[in-house]
Structure 1
Amino acid sequence: MTPITKTVTIGPWTGADSYADLAVEYEAASRGIGLHDRAYRGLLEITGKDRLAWLHNLTTNQVKSLQPGQGNYTFAVNIQGRILFDMNLLVLRDSVWLDIDRRWIDAAIAHFNKYIIMEDVKLADRTADFARFALTGARVAQFIARAGLAQSCAMPLHQVEHLSIDGAQLAIFRDDFCGPFGLQILVPMASAINLWQRWTATPDVTPIGFGAVDTLRIEHGIPWPMTEITPETLPAETGQFQRAVSTNKGCYLGQEIVERMRSRGAVARRLVLIHLPEGEPPPAGSELLSDGAIVGKTTSACVSQLHGGALAMGYVRSAVPDEAPVTVSAQGRCTSGSMVSAATATH
């Protein structure tokens, strides 16, 4: 595999924060072709004839209407309507795959097992069966088309396709996980090293670490598991309500609270981006102040390649106007900033 210059640990996984230069990796991940190791993701497989109806009742998005090859992004919430975990839900011919942060796999299994009563449903942890790679960047579609997936540029989000390379059967689904056009790739473990080496030997492909991915996803306002998405978070607070929640699917666990929050607009806080032109990235949990009052806390931050300076993500009270100046208090120092809009990727 590619030599690593800086490591990062996410739960049980330790991997590359960067392979070489963050600015080079950021450029590849946004405008070129970046290859990223997503071994921090886990995979649950759901089988049994009742799997679709059962999952429909336990997630916030549509399930029963999905056809094989389709999928979506969704939440599992508790009876109080708070998020237990988020996931990409992918419908295959004979099963459903749930792509979940690896740190949440055990909790997800325990949660789902509580709701298997008489249904014909079985859960299996398939995390160890696949290496998890991702391609991200403006030129990814052309690259994967040359590899054999000709219609990749037209793939809807969460569409699943299969591709054979050197005898390895790859499962590929569209997921713009850090903002730019992205594909997640599940590779049988026996073929993973060969595929990584083959792709990184291609001059157009740059291996990218977590640092570039994290910078991009913050710039695009994408919440991350266990930073922005925690057991205290409500779906309406995340800025992901439209893509993660169906308002016409009928009843599901926690639906009454989730719908009440939406219909009444009764959300106490919202997720925002705060640009600090002169500051350093503040640590998570730093206080956010407006007019001298504490109005929220940061959740994550980066040195922004897009804006320059630091860019923090955090939750602020909904009553704070978008144009209000914000001060970040971190490590005994206050830094002035302003709220900015999330970047919009062009594919």
Structure 2
Amino acid sequence: MEELLLTPLSGWHRENGAKMAPFAGFDMPVQYKGIMAEHKHTREKCGIFDISHMGEFRLSGDGAKDALNKIVTHDLNTLAPGKCRYGFMLNEKGGILDDLIIYCQAEDVYMLVVNGACRASDYEWIASHLPDGLDLCDISETMAKIDVQGPQSLEVLEGALGGSWNHLKYFNFEQIEWDDDPMIVSRTGYTGELGYELYLPADKAEKLWKKLISDERVMPVGLGARDTLRLEVGLPLYGQDLDTEHTPEESGAGFFLKKESDYIGKSGLGTVREKLIPLTIEGRRTARHHDKVCLPSGEEVGVVTSGSFGPSLGHSIALAYVKADEAEHDEYVVKTARVELEAKRGSLPFYTEGTARKKLD
């Protein structure tokens, strides 16, 4: 059995009763007090998440922008220092190798945040397509990532870091010093709520985590609630909703693609064979990854990629790839291992009360 990697906070999680499970090669907390409680607390107050399994690369050198622009779908020509942007890295056929956020730290200096399970393959892909003279460094093992998410996250952040943070706009970040070490404070997240992602040296993670958890408004949250939170607002998960067999256009994310310049995989776009669609299911019975999606007539037209009960909604929800010419029906049937579930085509986000884009005073 492969030995699981640990985050800088793995010891804290186990000492504090977290239920642990393998994820992306790491020993990760799934829940502490329960998925429902952690989900509700994040929607109403503030949850903190150990997301240190993610990968971080630093790319720098004269011409870094132009070189990276040819590898990713992000338009780096309009990405100024202090701003970050979501997008994709594609293979030659337009399939998604990974979805990632790119941070512009300075002219020709970028931090790329990639999915933990894709870290090694992403690094190899990027390195193989860069010209000589640029510095690409995998800094993942030196960094920790803590997410602070929820309507009260601004107050929690200010209590932990000091100062005022209401000036930071959505998908903007600042590079500061905390406890005599560099930290990136990014107004981003994966929950649909107002939130911040903090990147800091691995050896400072537990000190910051304990400071955050000492706030009575804060609850530690595991990957279980992180999954229900992201699904309620329609955010995809790589390896389930996104993969090398589907393009951003098929996943419903074509609007993230830059139009003016070429990049690897652009020539493979344009043909939409399947569409990722949202489904709503009454009651608590849930569809699961790989469940078949059929028309009411019984014809099989797709497959579920993500499914869960939506705690904020009171019913179950799912995402599914469906044949493009069958993706606009009002009603479907999901065939699970035990029962058939009636499903209706929904709209995204399922949960519409999120505070992520809230304007702060």
Q: Normalized against structure 2, the TM-score is what?
A: 0.88
1:273 pairs with 255, 274, 278, which one? Answer: 278
Q: Deviations over 1:59-100 (max 9, x none)?
A: 112113322212211111122111111110001126211000
Q: Deviations over 1:242-265 (max 9, x none)?
A: 2x31223x111122333xx1xxxx
1:282 pairs with 287, 292, 316, which one? Answer: 287
1:275–1:307: 8 Å Cα contact kept in structure 2? no
State yes or no: 1:27 paired with 2:40: yes
**C-alpha RMSD over aligned residues:** 1.9
SS at the partner of 2:20? Answer: strand
2:91–2:264: 8 Å Cα contact kept in structure 1? yes
Identity %: 20
Q: What does 1:282-321 correspond to in 2, within 5 Å?
A: 282-290=287-295, 291-320=297-326
SS at the partner of 1:319? Answer: helix
1:7–1:14: 8 Å Cα contact kept in structure 2? yes
Alpha carbons of 1:256 and 1:199: their partners in 2 closer, same or farther (altered >3 Å)? Answer: same
* Structure 2 spans left out of the alignment, 5+ residues: 1-11
Q: Match for 2:339: what amino acid?
A: R
SS at the partner of 1:53? Answer: helix
2:275–2:327: 8 Å Cα contact kept in structure 1? no
**1:216 Cα offset (Å):** 1.1
1:336 pairs with 334, 339, 342, which one? Answer: 342
C-alpha distance in 2, partners of 1:154/1:192? 22
1:302–1:310: 8 Å Cα contact kept in structure 2? yes
Q: Match for 1:109: what amino acid?
A: Y
Match for residue 126 of structure 2?
112
Match for residue 245 of structure 1?
257
Q: Normalized against structure 1, the TM-score is what?
A: 0.91
1:208 pairs with 221, 232, 254, which one? Answer: 221
Q: Match for 1:36: what amino acid?
A: F
Q: Please identify, of 27-36 and 165-174, the stretch whose mean Cα deviation from structure 2 is larger.
A: 165-174
Match for residue 45 of structure 1?
58
Q: Match for 1:7: what amino acid?
A: M
1:149–1:163: 8 Å Cα contact kept in structure 2? no
Q: What does 1:153-302 correspond to in 2, within 5 Å?
A: 154-157=168-171, 159-242=172-255, 244-248=256-260, 250-258=261-269, 261=270, 266-278=271-283, 280-290=285-295, 291-302=297-308
C-alpha distance in 2, partners of 1:336/1:300? 16
Match for residue 143 of structure 2?
130
Q: Please identify, of 266-275 and 101-110, the stretch whose mean Cα deviation from structure 2 is larger.
A: 266-275
Q: Match for 1:283: what amino acid?
A: R
Q: Deviations over 1:121-167 (max 9, x none)?
A: 1211111011111011112123223433524464131x221233333
SS at the partner of 2:65? Answer: helix
Alpha carbons of 1:52 and 1:161: their partners in 2 closer, same or farther (altered >3 Å)? Answer: same
2:156–2:215: 8 Å Cα contact kept in structure 1? no
C-alpha distance in 2, partners of 1:36/1:308? 24
Q: What does 1:82-121 correspond to in 2, within 5 Å?
A: 82-93=95-106, 95-117=109-131, 119-121=132-134
**1:322 Cα offset (Å):** 4.2
2:30–2:224: 8 Å Cα contact kept in structure 1? yes
